[in-house]
Amino acid sequence: MFQLRNLLNDHPKIKQLARRLMAAIPLSSRLGKNFWDWYAFFQESEAWDFAQMRDFQLCRIRNLLLELTATSKFYRDRIGSLDVAQISSLDEFRAQVPTLSRIEFMNCYGEILSSSWRAQKLAKSQTSGTTGMALQFYHTAADQAREWAAICHQWKRVGFSPGTSRRAEFRGLTTPGQLVDVFPHNNMMRCSILNLKKQHVIYYADEIRKNRMDFYHGYPSAIYLLAWEIIHGDIAFPQPKAVLLASEMVYDWQVARIQEAFPEASIFAHYGCAERTVLAGWCEHRREYHVLPQYGLLEIADKTSEIIGTNLYNSVNGFVRFQMTDTVLNVDHTSCPDCHRPYTPRLIELGGRTEDFLFSQENGWIPPAIVTYPLKSLKAIREVQFFQKKRAEISVRYTTHSKDDALLKLDLEQIRSGLHHLFGAGMSTNFELVDDFERGPTGKFKWIICELEGMPSR
């Protein structure tokens, strides 16, 4: 399988042909039974009452803790004396099981990892790095079906059908040298968000029409830049059924600009994370996040309003009462008066930091989410902060948790080459080792600081 993947990556034309051959089989069939079982479960369980939902979560918690204490030294030492079968409520679970911080997860990962991980088919995952510190971990490969089913279950609120809808992505990276990648087997195409000048946007409009894309999916910061160019360039751009926002905080000023560019479209945002501890999406009736309780268990810390999440399914490297460092500014624990789903809590307003854009003389303004790509596999560097006050120069401040000079050198080169790929070889990068960064109450810091004039206005 590994050799086949390398062959396809080395021969783009063969890879595209393989995608077209796969597309001959309807996507609804290729999604598989596991996906459709989960999709049906989410649909059925949204009609449960609160008692049924709490019972389901409690059952999942007990099963998870039993498996973790049997296979993870970390959890065996932490909660091995707890009689899991006697946990009678979620409040009791919260009272008896301590929270887990990001630093603790990183430092204790070898003991957290299940002793049976080699016997399972796994998918490597990692956080985006928007805290300046990316975590690396595993999910079972089969869990991808549940993840996609949960997302599609939310998107159904604005008309998305997983077997037939077609989406244009404004997220991730395209093949080097390509403005657009087409994935016919997934009913999807990806547009380069490193190229959002007028001529590029006109080209994307033509490709979207040709490939009959009816949903747009991407980073709020990237679709905001797209909308800005459409409006100011007076570009006739196809109107989607809905714009699906993900992977970043969503701000009112972004939504206003996106709605101006796409007045006929619904706008939907979801909040999630690579750890899969929480997934929440806007209601179709109001712009507030409804948490999926059958996906994960979400708590909100009393003193800090910090989100604490538990992945109800991952026993490979358990995220139990994991401190997300994101905060909630306004929350409601009752069901939505409009949709009446038993999805609580309702996150009326998330707390987050407005990160700056960085500027490339070759590609223009670069959204925050795309800046994380050079940070995804760091070994010696713990946290990173980008600072720009000159158009052709970026300063990279970093902290480290390793004294291995060889690993640190590889990390710095990875960041340097990644920034050159995103910003162009003409961008100068300077590195500075620091002891720490100024932090907020949950430990986060502003990881992108740009002092240039002309940043996209709000």
Residue with tokens 């979400």: 298
Q: Are 381 and 398 in contact (CB under 8 A)?
A: yes
Residue 397 included in any domain? yes
Residue 284 included in any domain? no
- Specify the CATH number for the domain of residue 390: 3.30.300.30
Enter the tokens of residue 189. Answer: 């195409």
Residue 384 included in any domain? yes
Distances (CA, A) of 245 to 276, 358, 442: 17, 20, 25
Question: From CA 5, how far away is CA 181, in angstroms rounded?
Answer: 17
| pLDDT the model gives residue 308 | 97
Beta bridge pairs of residue 217: 169, 244
Residue 275 included in any domain? no
Distances (CA, A) of 48 to 143, 154, 343: 23, 16, 10
Q: Could you read off the pLDDT of 184-227 as tens digits, one per residue?
A: 989 999 999 989 999 999 999 999 999 999 999 999 989 999 99
Question: From CA 150, how far away is CA 294, in angstroms rounded?
Answer: 9
DSSP symbols for 44-66: HHTT--HHHHHHHHHHHHHHHHH
Enter the tokens of residue 40. Answer: 């049906």
Radius of gyration of the chain (CA): 22
Question: From CA 452, how far away is CA 215, in angstroms rounded?
Answer: 34
| pLDDT the model gives residue 130 | 56
| pLDDT the model gives residue 439 | 80
Q: Which residues contact 413 (CB under 8 A, 6 or more apart)?
A: none
- Which H/E stretch holds residue 137? strand 136-140
Residue 317 included in any domain? no
Q: Is 308 helix (H, G, I), strand (E, B) or coil?
A: strand
Question: From CA 209, how far away is CA 189, in angstroms rounded?
Answer: 11
How many Å separate Cα 60 from the centre of its chain? 24
Residue 424 included in any domain? yes
Residue with tokens 């961008």: 427
Question: From CA 170, how far away is CA 225, in angstroms rounded?
Answer: 10
| pLDDT the model gives residue 1 | 47
Q: Is 321 helix (H, G, I), strand (E, B) or coil?
A: coil
How many Å separate Cα 286 from the centre of its chain? 22
Residue 414 included in any domain? yes
Nearest to 323 by CA among 368, 369, 275, 367: 275
Helix-helix angle 143-155:32-45, to 10 degrees: 50
Question: From CA 448, how far away is CA 221, in angstroms rounded?
Answer: 14
Low-confidence ranges of the chain (pLDDT < 70): 1-25, 128-133, 352-354, 442, 457-458
Domain count, the chain: 1
Question: From CA 51, how far away is CA 48, in angstroms rounded?
Answer: 8
Residue 369 included in any domain? yes
Question: From CA 107, how far away is CA 103, in angstroms rounded?
Answer: 6
How many Å separate Cα 217 from the centre of its chain? 12
Question: From CA 159, how far away is CA 192, in angstroms rounded?
Answer: 25
**Domain encompassing residue 413:** 358-450
- pTM assigned to the model: 0.85
Residue 329, Cβ density class (10 Å: 0-12 exposed, 13-18 middle, ≥19 buried): exposed
| pLDDT the model gives residue 259 | 97
